[in-house]
């Protein structure tokens, strides 16, 4: 009997070791399989110069993928710092939640005393700023912004500037995405807390979570020294260009944060835990989405030189983070494809686009302004042998390059959509189709 006990005592640890090794091997095989599939999936995005960045995927306690993708991405790591654009809004909303918990403000407070210069200030609540129902115009849609986008602006100056424009609609009437609202929330954070916006985030969010590679733009300090270089879509041969200029002070509260894949994974864990353990918690700053009948949280961002997206699937204990140092909404398609791949659903892999050159004379045929709605215009301009596009009409527009694919077909990498032009019976350009919608008429040359 003693010998049998000895054998049993010896056998149990050996079994445990064997099972642990077996589980480890299975996880390694799964990670390898996922990585192989993702490499194939990402190839067209890399070849098309839609992506040069980092992707990290966490499932439960396992990192399924953590690696760089891109022709110039070999130096990128999980600690590389990217500008994350509108992901900033999730931190701004969290800061507002802290002030509410501290009893310093209420979401039902009107802006009468906080931002008295605003039209309808007495009718706009703090909550309206969080959920885009304030009616305050998005400063990107204001033509005057293009002429001053490179100038420094303080939050107090921004509030005065935005207050001169008539609201888009009455507060609470509907929802319309507005970066301006989150700039104003940053102003409220500073006014109520007595701290600068970047200091408040650092004190109450970044430091406690040990998000050491994360911060927000600080006026007068070189806080962006370690940020990876960003690019906008460009012309042949590299298909990359320097980003359009904007002074980052305009992004405070709405797009001013920089972070790393590793740090954002910590942020995802906090948010996912809150969703699970605090059923009454409102995910302000996040979008509520559903894919394959599975609910998840999402926020994406795009500013000159950078694009990004985070997806949090609480029911699956799954986080997907995609950070790109090319300004392209391709990140949205990439994240959707990754989700489908992980759920064993059909994955749409884009074709490799063949960008062509066209003479300046031919490109100038497409130049002009096209009307999408009574108050929304898009302008095309031939410039230095390339065709560029900008929203709006008139002067001081913010133009970006579009790729020529042949036969009146173009591709706009920034917003990641196809563009086709229409001709009249005299072979003159008279309209445009945008992302499958249209036609929209050409209203001037």
Are 159 and 113 within 8 A, CB to CB? no
Domains, the chain, ordered by start = 82-342 (3.40.710.10), 360-444 (2.40.128.50)
The per-residue pLDDT for 122 is 96
Cis preceding-peptide flag for 302 (omega within 30 of 0): no
Integer Cα distance of 52 and 323 in angstroms = 8
Burial of 413 (0-12, 13-18, 19+ CB in 10 A): buried
Q: Which residue has 């004379």 as its token pair?
A: 361
Tell me the C-alpha distance between 160 and 157, whole Å.
5
287, 299 contact by CB (below 8 A): yes
Contacts of 172 (CB under 8 A, 6+ apart): 123, 128, 133
CA angle 182, 298, 159 (to 5 degrees): 5
Distance separating alpha carbons of residues 142 and 119, to the nearest angstrom: 16
Q: What pLDDT does residue 223 have?
A: 58
Distance CA 99, CA 119 (A): 24
Short-list 383, 394, 389, 374, CA closest to 441: 374
pLDDT at 26: 52
Q: Are strands 400-406 and 409-412 parallel, antiparallel or unpaired?
A: antiparallel
Q: What is the dihedral of CA 170, 173, 177, 180, to 10 degrees?
A: 30
Distances from the Cα of 35 to the Cαs of 26, 30, 261, 304, 337, in angstroms?
Answer: 14, 8, 17, 29, 13
Residue among 385, 333, 335, 334 nearest 360 (CA): 385
- Report the alpha-carbon distance of residue 145 to residue 6 in Å, rounded: 80
Coil/strand/helix, residue 337: helix
Cα three-residue angle 72-77-83, rounded to 5 degrees: 80
Q: Which two tokens stand for residue 33?
A: 């399989």
Residue 150, token pair as written in the block: 């490179």
In this predicted structure, what is the pLDDT of residue 22?
Answer: 46
Which segments in the chain show pLDDT lower than 70?
1-30, 220-223, 445
Q: Give the DSSP letter of residue 173.
A: S
The tens digit of pLDDT for each residue in 262-310 reads 999 999 999 999 999 998 999 999 999 998 889 999 999 999 999 999 9
What pLDDT is stored for residue 28 in this prediction?
Answer: 64
Question: Which residues, 6 or more positions from 436, have their beta carbon under 8 angstroms from its beta carbon?
Answer: 418
| Residue corresponding to tokens 């064997």 | 18
Neighbours of 282 (CB within 10 A): 13
Residue 288 CB partners (closer than 8 Å, separation 6+)? 295, 297
pLDDT for res 13: 53
Q: Please give the model's pTM, rounded to 2 decimal places.
A: 0.91
* CA neighbor of 305 nearest in space, from 253, 249, 378, 246: 246
| DSSP-derived pairing of the beta strands 82-83 and 62-69 | unpaired
């Amino acid at each position: 009997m003693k010998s049998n006990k000895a054998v049993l005592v010896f056998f149990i640890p050996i079994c445990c070791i064997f099972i642990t090794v077996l589980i480890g091997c299975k996880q390694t095989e799964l990670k390898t399989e996922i990585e192989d599939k993702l490499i194939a999936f990402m190839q067209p995005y890399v070849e098309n110069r839609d992506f040069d960045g980092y992707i990290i995927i966490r499932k439960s306690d396992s990192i399924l993928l953590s690696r760089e993708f891109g022709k110039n991405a070999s130096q990128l790591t999980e600690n590389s710092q990217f500008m994350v654009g509108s992901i900033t809004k999730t931190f701004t909303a969290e800061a507002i939640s802290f002030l509410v918990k501290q009893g310093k403000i209420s979401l039902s407070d009107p802006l009468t005393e906080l931002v008295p210069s605003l039209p309808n200030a007495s009718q706009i609540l703090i909550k309206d700023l969080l959920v885009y129902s304030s009616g305050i115009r998005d400063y990107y849609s204001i033509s005057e912004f293009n002429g001053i986008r490179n100038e420094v602006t303080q939050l107090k100056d921004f509030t005065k500037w935005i207050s001169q424009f008539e609201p888009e609609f009455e507060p609470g009437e509907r929802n319309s995405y507005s970066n301006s609202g989150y700039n104003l929330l940053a102003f409220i954070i500073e006014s109520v807390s007595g701290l600068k916006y970047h200091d408040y985030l650092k004190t109450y969010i970044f430091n406690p979570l040990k998000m050491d590679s994360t911060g927000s733009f600080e006026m007068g300090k070189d806080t962006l020294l370690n940020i990876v270089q960003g690019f906008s879509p460009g012309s042949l041969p590299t298909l990359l260009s320097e980003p359009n200029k904007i002074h980052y002070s305009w992004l405070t509260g709405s797009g001013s944060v920089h972070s790393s894949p590793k740090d954002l994974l910590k942020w995802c864990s906090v948010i996912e835990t809150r969703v699970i353990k605090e059923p009454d918690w409102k995910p302000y700053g996040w979008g509520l989405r559903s894919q394959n009948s599975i609910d998840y949280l999402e926020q994406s961002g795009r500013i000159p030189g950078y694009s990004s997206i985070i997806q949090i699937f609480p029911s699956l204990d799954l986080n997907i983070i995609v950070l790109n140092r090319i300004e392209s909404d391709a990140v949205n398609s990439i994240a959707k494809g990754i989700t489908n791949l992980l759920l064993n659903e059909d994955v749409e892999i884009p074709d490799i686009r063949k960008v062509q050159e066209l003479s300046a004379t031919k490109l100038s045929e497409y130049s002009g302004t096209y009307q999408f709605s009574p108050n929304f215009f898009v302008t095309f301009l031939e410039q230095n042998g390339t065709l560029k596009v900008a929203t709006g009409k008139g002067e001081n527009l913010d133009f970006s390059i579009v790729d020529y694919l042949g036969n009146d077909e173009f591709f706009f990498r920034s917003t990641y959509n196809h563009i086709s032009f229409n001709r009249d019976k005299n072979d003159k350009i008279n309209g445009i189709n945008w992302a499958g919608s249209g036609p929209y008429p050409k209203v001037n040359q």
